């Protein structure tokens, strides 16, 4: 099939690459000329395991193309995906200006019947707005061209997006026409060869499914973090409580790991947006609002433990920081707990020596540009040299089984603050460490 994907951000580029991997002819369109030129040269704007190799492979095979011109690819496309950003507005709602700008351009330049697919995460009712925008432009052109708009929300995990797309848990399709369902079934058939996981529904239910899924996962994270905070107060061990409740098949172990809170591009934005959607429809989403409140507070828990140990005045103290990205296997630092910890400690006079396998460039150029007392190093053990304590905030694999004798040798004090509960507290205490974690005294 011939596919056009508008937007070469995280969702757009991963989707385009995976569709091309199955032999489709895919054109990525973006107004950012520099990004398109870089992609043509094999320079990928994001880090995602396997993505760079697959982009290069399918570009060389002639399956994957990059362009700044929409009109050329529209006329030959069976489906056009809208995969542009929907940033959070000042009121918490998703900003649809880029989605509707693309819809307007499609209406201005389409010349034949086409299926338009909304892949961006958008509020309920957005497909209707896209339809009206396209139809308005067609009316101005005096044309009567058949088109249908489909909702196809993405469920990609950063760090595992390629696997998620190639072997999906489910593919949700919201449509109101046989043509929409037919084209999407054909497009996703190669990904569902072993097991049909395609779920068809009405458009508004499909739009809602994306928000509901992310809000549910965020709720599990905030729930276990709230339990962990209570465990600390009563003398229980949140890690053992997690095992106790996770063994119940109705609950399961996924997303119930105590930690420093969730971040990234999806959960924070989508929880806020769903709260806003409820409010606009006259409903006070108390539970969902509480999820955000708990998470915002959780990002400060590790910093508070450091301050409790070393005092409010941290001048002259240096802390080694392992992990800047909000989760492993990505360079994404959006809403990362590391941002809040670094800000809290440095404004009290502390210095930070930070290491992350992938996110240092993002920290330097975007998220920690205003922080003066921070040094970036190229290995985890370099960060420890002459530091007063180690703070772990991202559970990269290389942090899971470090050499604790090396840690002890380099640190001024054998102290670890663990924001992801990676280590065994008994073993560390046996080795002479002071060990602070989430959900246990």
The Cα-based distances of 40 to 43, 45, 166, 349 in angstroms read 7, 12, 23, 45
- Considering 18, 28, 231, 266, which one is annotated as catalytic? 266
Residue whose C-alpha is closest to residue 353's, from 389, 391, 320, 393: 320
Active site residue 266: yes
Sheet containing 318-322: give its strands across: 374-376, 351-355, 318-322, 389-392, 415-418, 434-437
Give me the numbers of helices (H) and strands (E) for the chain, helices first please.
18, 14
How far apart are alpha carbons 274 and 216 in whole angstroms? 11
Cβ count near 277 (within 10 Å)? 21
Residue whose C-alpha is closest to residue 214's, from 295, 298, 155: 155
How far apart are alpha carbons 65 and 441 in whole angstroms? 55
| Whether 167 contacts 114, CB under 8 Å | no
- DSSP annotation of 367 reads I
Give the strand pairing for 147-151 and 114-118. Answer: parallel
Residues with catalytic annotation? 266
């Amino acid at each position: 099939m011939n596919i056009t994907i508008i937007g070469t951000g995280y969702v757009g580029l991963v989707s385009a690459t995976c569709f091309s991997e199955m032999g489709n002819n895919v054109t990525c369109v973006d107004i950012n000329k520099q990004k398109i030129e870089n992609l043509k040269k094999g320079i990928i704007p994001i880090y995602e395991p396997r993505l760079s190799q697959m982009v290069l492979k399918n570009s060389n095979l002639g399956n994957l193309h990059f362009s700044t011109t929409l009109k050329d690819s529209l006329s030959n496309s069976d489906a056009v995906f809208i995969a542009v950003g929907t940033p959070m507005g000042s009121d918490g709602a998703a900003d649809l200006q880029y989605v509707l700008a693309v819809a307007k351009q499609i209406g201005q330049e389409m010349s034949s019947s086409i299926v338009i697919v909304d892949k961006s995460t958008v509020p309920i009712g957005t497909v209707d707005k896209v339809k009206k925008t396209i139809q308005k432009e067609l009316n101005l052109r005096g044309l009567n061209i058949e088109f249908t708009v489909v909702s196809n929300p993405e469920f990609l995990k950063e760090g595992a997006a390629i696997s998620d797309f190639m072997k999906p848990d489910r593919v949700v399709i919201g449509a109101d026409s046989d043509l929409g369902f037919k084209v999407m079934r054909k497009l996703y058939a190669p990904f569902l060869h072993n097991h049909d996981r395609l779920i068809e529904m009405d458009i508004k239910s499909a739009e809602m499914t994306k928000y509901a899924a992310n809000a549910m996962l965020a709720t599990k994270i905030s729930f276990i973090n709230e339990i962990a905070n209570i465990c600390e107060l009563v003398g229980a061990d949140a890690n053992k409580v997690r095992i106790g409740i996770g063994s119940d098949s109705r609950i399961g172990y996924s997303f119930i790991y105590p930690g420093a809170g969730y971040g990234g591009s999806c959960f924070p934005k989508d929880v806020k947006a769903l709260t806003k959607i409820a409010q606009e429809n006259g409903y006070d989403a108390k539970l969902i609002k509480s999820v955000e409140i708990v998470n915002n507070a959780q990002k400060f828990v590790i910093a508070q433990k450091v301050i409790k140990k070393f005092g409010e005045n941290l001048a002259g103290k240096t802390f080694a920081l392992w992990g800047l990205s909000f989760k492993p296997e990505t360079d994404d630092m959006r809403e990362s707990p590391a941002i809040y910890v670094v800000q809290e400690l440095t404004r009290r006079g502390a210095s930070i020596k930070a290491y992350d396998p992938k996110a240092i460039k993002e920290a330097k150029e975007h998220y920690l540009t205003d922080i003066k007392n921070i040094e970036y190093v190229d290995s985890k053990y370099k960060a420890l040299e002459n530091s007063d304590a180690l703070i772990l905030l991202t559970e990269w694999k290389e942090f899971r089984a470090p050499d604790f004798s090396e840690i002890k040798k380099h640190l001024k004090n054998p102290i670890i603050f663990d924001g992801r509960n990676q280590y065994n507290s008994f073993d560390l205490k046996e080795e002479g460490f002071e060990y602070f974690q989430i959900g246990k005294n």
